[in-house]
Chains A and B, each alone.
Chain A
C-alpha cells in the first residue's frame, strides 16, 4: 500500500556517531506530519525530557515536512516545521516550535525523506550533504565563522552546483545523483534545481538566544533559538538535493479543489476589487500585504504558493525578506534617514544583515526600544552601570546596526549578558521593574509582544501564554487589520460586525460552531468560557492544520470572502476546505473535525512534554505590565477595532484599547480552560482519563512515573 503524500522515510542523524539511518514514516502516521510527527519523534528519541535549555546535548531537533509539501495545494506546499527544546525563553525554555518557508521541505521530500531527526553533538563542525538517499557528514571547519549566504554559496560550489542563471541545466550524473537513490525516470538526467540549504550564521555558532536557521536569502526559523541548538551540536548546515516526486492519491480531486480556489480567490490585475475582504487571494485589501509587480520588484514565494508574499528587488538588497526583518530597524532608521528612499535602503540592508548573521530580529521588535530606553535613561553605555562601548548615539545608522548585531551574535559587549535570553539579561542587570512598567514589553515566556497586544487581542495573548511562545498564528487577527484599516480610510465596511462573527462561527467546529460570542472580546466577556473555547479551537486547529499539515499561517484559516455570494471563506468548505486538499493528497477520509481532534492530540502531547519539563499552572502568567498598565489609548495606532456586543447584545466594531488584564480574573479563566481541556485545574497537568481517550496512555504512564500526572477531578 503506497503512502500517498509521504516520502516514506524519516532521516535520523546521530551527530555524535556520525550515522544516518532511516525511520519508517508509517510508524508515525497517526500524528499527520510536521509538528505532530516532530513531537512524537521528540517523545521517542529525547532521552531526557526534563531539559530546559535547547543547547543541552540530549536535545533532539526535528525538521519536518507535511504530506502537502511538494504538491500544488495552495499556500501549503513550501512550509517546514522545526521542533525541539528552545533557547533563551523565560523562566525556562520549553519544547517549542518554529517554521520557515521556501523550498527546503519540498526538496527534502523529493530526496525521499519526510523529516530529519537531529541528535547528539559532532566533535567538530560539520555540514550534512543529502543527495536523495545518500547522506554524508562533511567537514564544516572552513565554513565556520561565515555568514549564512556565503555558507550556502560555498556549499553549492563544493557540491558542483552552478547557481548562476547562465547554467540553467545540470547533469545529474555530475552532481552524484544518478545512483541507486535516483527516484525519478522523467528528468532526462538533467535538472534546473540547486540544492536547498538550511544554515546557521555566527549568531548560531556562538549559541546565543537570538539565533535563527536561514534558508536561501530570506526564509528563517527565528523563534525558539534553533540556530543556537544547531550551534551547540556543531551543525553548520544541511544541504539537500532531491530528484524524486510525491505520489498524490487523487490528482483529479486535487486539481479540482485548486481550480475552485482559483475561481473564488484570484483577483483581477486589470479590475481588482480594492475593497474586497478576503484572505487567500491576497492582493485586494484596504492596505495590501503583497505589492504588485513593478519594474523595480518581483513577487517571490514559497514553492507551490499562490500568493508570493516576498519580493526580489532590482537594487539587489532586501531580497526575499518580507516580514518583521524588514521593519525591525525602521523606527531607528527614521532618526538618520533624510529621504524615504534612504529610509527604505537602511531598512532593507538591515534585513540583509540579520539574514546573513542568522539573527532573529523579532527580538528587536520591542527589545531594541528597551535597550534605547536604558541608554537614554543613563543606565547603559560607556562607563555606566550596564557597560557598553557600542556607539549608541549613532542608533539608526546602518553602521550601528552592524555593530549591535555583531555584538549580540558574538557574545561581546552587552551580547555577553544577553546570550542566554533577554529577560535573563534584565534580571542580571537588576531591571525587573521594566517588566512592570512596560519599558520592556516581553509579554510571554521571554518573547516580545508581537504587535497584537494581549490586553486587546485576547486569542493572541491567551494562546501564547497557554502555549510555549508568542503564538504568531494569524487565525483571527485579520479582523483587526482589515476592519481597522477600513476605519482608517473611512472605507465602506464590507462585512458588518454581526455578520463577520457569524461567518466565523459557522466554521469553528466542533467547540464553537454556531457560537459567535466566542469572538466577543468586550470587557464583560473577556474571561469567559466562550473565549476559552475560541482559544482551544485556535490551538488545536494550528497544531494540526497549520503546523503539521503546514497550511500557511498567513493564508489559512479562511473564514470570509467578499468575492463569493455568501461571503463564505474556504476553511472547512466541502469543495476547497483544508480537509479536501489533505484527502486528495493522502487518500485519507479525514473530516474537518477529525483534523481538529488530531490537533488536540498533538497539543496534548506538547503539554505533556512541558509538564515533564516542569510546567505548573502557577508559572503560566503574563509579564507584570500586562496586568499593571493599560494599553495606551490610541498612541501607537488610533484604534484597535474588533467585533463586540453591547449590554443589549448588539454587535458593533469597538475599540479595544485602553485596558489592562485583571490577574485574578485571568486565573479564573485559566481554570475554565484547563477544565475544558481535561487537565487538572489546580496544576494544569494532563489527566489519565483525558490522555487515554486519545489513545495516549503511554504518555500518562510516563507522567505517572515522573510524578506529574494530573489528579482526576469530579
Chain B
C-alpha cells in the first residue's frame, strides 16, 4: 500500500463517533461470545492480535465496508477485500487482516510523526 496522506493518517489513528462503531466480539470459552464494538483501527488491531485463549469475532464484509465508508481508506479496504476473499479459513483471515491493519497503522504513525509501536 502507498503511504497515506497526513490527513488520512490522522484519521487512521483517530476514533470514529459512537454511531459509526463497528460491531465485533470475542469468543472466549467458557465465558462465551463477549460483545465489543470497535471505534478505531488500533482497537481493531488489538482485537485481532493472536491469543491462545480466544478468537476475535468480526464480520469481514462489514469490516471492509467500515474501513472504506467510515475510516475513509479505500486503498486499505481494497487490500482487505482481496485478502479476505483469498483466505484458507476465518482464523487465517483474521491473521492476515491483523497484519494489514498493523502495516497501515505503522505507515500512518510514520507519516503523522508518532512513535511506531510494536
Contact = CB atoms under 8 A, between A and B. Distances in A.
Interface of A: 287-289, 291, 323-324, 327, 330-331, 334-335, 337-340, 343, 365-366, 369, 373, 376-377, 441, 450-453, 474, 477-478, 481, 484-485, 487-490, 554, 632, 634-638
Interface string B23-36: 11111111111111
A635 B23 contact: yes
A321 to B, nearest CB: 12
Contacts of B47: 334
Contact of B31 (A334, A451, A484, A635): A451
Given A485-B55, A488-B89, A637 B33 contact: yes
A637 B46 contact: no
Contacts of A638: 57-60, 90
Nearest to A485: B55
Contacts of B89: 488-490
A632 B62 CA distance: 12
Interface in B29-61: 29-40, 42-43, 46-47, 49, 52-55, 57-60
A484 B28 CA distance: 12
B117 A334 contact: no
Interface string B53-78: 11101111010000000000000000
B34 A487 contact: no
A488 B91 contact: yes
B34 A327 contact: yes
Interface of B: 15, 18-19, 23-40, 42-43, 46-47, 49, 52-55, 57-60, 62, 88-92, 117-118
Contacts of A288: 52-53
Contacts of A554: 30
Residue from B18, B35, B49 having most chain A Cβ neighbours under 10 A: B35
Nearest to B40: A335
A621 B34 CA distance: 23
Given A287-B29, A330-B34, A335-B40, A636 B24 contact: yes
A287 B57 contact: no
B interface majority secondary structure: mixed
A488 B25 CA distance: 14
A637 B58 CA distance: 6
A interface majority secondary structure: loop
A337 B46 contact: yes
Given A289-B29, A323-B31, 10 more contacts: A287-B29, A338-B42, A340-B46, A377-B18, A451-B28, A451-B32, A453-B33, A481-B27, A488-B89, A637-B55
Contacts of A340: 46, 49
Given A634-B59, A637-B57, A331 B35 contact: yes
Given A330-B36, A331-B34, A337-B46, A488 B55 contact: yes
A339 B59 contact: no
Contacts of B52: 287-288, 291
B39 A484 contact: no
B23 A637 contact: no
A373 B19 CA distance: 10
A366 B36 CA distance: 9
B27 A369 contact: no
B87 to A, nearest CB: 9
22 contacts: A289-B53, A327-B28, A331-B34, A334-B36, A339-B117, A340-B49, A343-B46, A441-B35, A478-B29, A481-B27, A485-B27, A487-B90, A488-B90, A488-B91, A554-B30, A634-B59, A636-B24, A636-B57, A637-B25, A637-B27, A638-B59, A638-B60
A366 B37 CA distance: 12
A489 B91 contact: yes
B67 to A, nearest CB: 16
Which 6 pairs of residues, A with B, have the shortest CB-CB distance? A451-B32, A331-B36, A636-B25, A490-B89, A637-B57, A376-B18
Contact of A636 (B23, B29, B46): B23
B117 to A, nearest CB: 5
Contacts of A289: 29-30, 53
A450 B28 CA distance: 11
A334 B34 contact: no
A637 B39 CA distance: 17
A261 B95 CA distance: 37
